[in-house]
């Protein structure tokens, strides 16, 4: 469409840049969408130039160009994959089990020492109360 009479340019990026400039000069409405053939030409440059370089030289929206290059439809957002299937994870604690030592001595000289590694499944407060009230 806009590829006729393209002057000899030094790089493919300059060639596509020229096509974009010609289209911008000849379009009827400034808000007219970019033709598909120009998007394709810009996307083909990706092997030789970075998305950032292409979008800067061609004055394109970086995200729109990136979406075109990587096959995402324009204007759509990536949809999160939702699955109803169950995935079992092999979960292991990322740190070793902690150890807790509690030592008590009452006024009568009675002593109690409790040592727990990991999680204590006892009600420690009630155990302590029972120890303190036993000698009374």
In a domain, 28, yes or no: yes
For residues 18 and 64, membership in a common domain is answered with: yes
Domain count, the chain: 2
Q: At what angle do helices 12-26 and 51-58 cross, to 10 degrees?
A: 40
Domain end: 20, 49, 69, which one? 69
Task: Work out the number of other CB atoms within 10 angstroms of the CB of residue 81.
Answer: 5
Read off the pTM.
0.48
> For 17-49, how does the pLDDT look when each residue is reduced to its tens digit (9 = 90+)?
999 999 999 998 888 999 999 999 999 998 899
**Full domain range(s) for residue 40:** 12-69
Length of the chain, please? 136
Q: At what angle do helices 51-58 and 62-69 cross, to 10 degrees?
A: 130
- Where b means 16+ CB within 10 Å and e means fewer, 104-136 reads eeeeeeeeeeeeeeeeeeeeeeeeeeebeeeee
User: Residue 80: what pLDDT?
Assistant: 47
User: pLDDT category, 6, cuts 50, 70, 90?
Assistant: low
In a domain, 118, yes or no: yes
> For 78-121, how does the pLDDT look when each residue is reduced to its tens digit (9 = 90+)?
444 455 566 676 666 666 667 888 888 877 788 888 887 777 66
């Amino acid at each position: 469409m806009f590829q006729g009479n393209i002057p000899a340019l030094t790089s493919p990026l300059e060639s596509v840049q020229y096509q974009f400039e010609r289209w911008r000069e000849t379009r009827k409405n400034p808000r007219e969408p970019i033709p598909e053939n120009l998007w394709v030409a810009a996307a083909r440059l990706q092997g030789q130039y970075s998305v950032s370089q292409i979008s800067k030289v061609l004055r394109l929206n970086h995200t729109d160009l990136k979406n075109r290059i990587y096959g995402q439809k324009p204007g759509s957002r990536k949809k999160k994959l939702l699955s109803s299937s169950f995935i079992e994870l092999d979960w292991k604690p990322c740190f070793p089990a902690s150890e807790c030592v509690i030592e008590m001595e009452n006024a009568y000289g009675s002593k109690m020492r409790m040592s727990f590694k990991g999680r204590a499944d006892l009600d420690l407060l009630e155990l302590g109360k029972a120890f303190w009230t036993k000698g009374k």
